[in-house]
Amino acid sequence: MAVREILLLGNPKLYEVSEAIKEDDLRDLPPVVADLHDTLLEFRRKYGAGRAIAACQIGFAKRLLYMFIDSPVVFINPSLENRSEEMIEVWDDCMCFPDLLVKVMRHKSCTIRFRDLSFKEHTMKLEDDLSELLQHEYDHLDGIMFIDKINPLRRKLLKGKLNDISKCKVDVSYKIKVLK
């Protein structure tokens, strides 16, 4: 379909909670899924990274995730369950700000329950990097950005290094500023 513009960190739309998808909405999803696919692959071509994307990152505020590692997986109305008590610290980045890496804590494992494009329910057990990846994407659906997961001391240290708002297309001063 089309490569869509990825909303940048600080865009107010990224901080909104995405709406649930109803079964009646399914007929409208294939073009959005195609756009997510094209956008993800273009990002991967440009930056050499990118395994999954939330629909809200391209301005479609519905509870939809798209992952392409070995094959495409569409997650409709996902929910995370059985989050492990064991946490792991990981370097996290985001397509909304591809030049920023921060350390965050994520659950080592969890389960994701979701529906596919036929609205059939599935459950997938997630471990380690796959668990971290889908927690990151799931956070997008709730309007949570990866920088919101930074511990307060790191946030304070990072904020001192962030400036030059003019490089960003939106006013991000209430959240974070763009790195030089």
Task: Give the model's pLDDT for residue 166.
Answer: 29
The CA-CA-CA angle for residues 32, 76, 7, to 5°, reads 50
Work out the mean pLDDT of the chain and round it to a whole number. 85
Task: Grade residue 117 by pLDDT with cuts at 50, 70 and 90.
Answer: very high
- CATH superfamily ID and name for 12-162: Peptide deformylase (3.90.45.10)
Predicted TM-score (pTM) above 0.85 = no
**Higher pLDDT, residue 98 or 27:** 27
Out of 23, 89, 127, 137, the active site residue is 137
Q: Where are the domains of the chain?
A: 12-162
Mean pLDDT of 141-160: 72
pLDDT at position 178: 33
pLDDT higher at 171 or 54: 54
Is 137 considered catalytic here? yes
pLDDT digits (tens, 9 = 90+) for 4-45: 999 988 799 999 999 999 999 999 999 999 999 999 999 999
pLDDT at 155: 63
Work out the number of other CB atoms within 10 angstroms of the CB of residue 166: 7
Kindly state the average pLDDT of the residues 71-76: 96
Task: Pick 146 or 11 by higher pLDDT.
Answer: 11
Neighbours of 81 (CB within 10 A): 10
Report the Cα–Cα distance between both ends of the chain, in Å, rounded.
33
Mean of pLDDT values over 117-129: 95
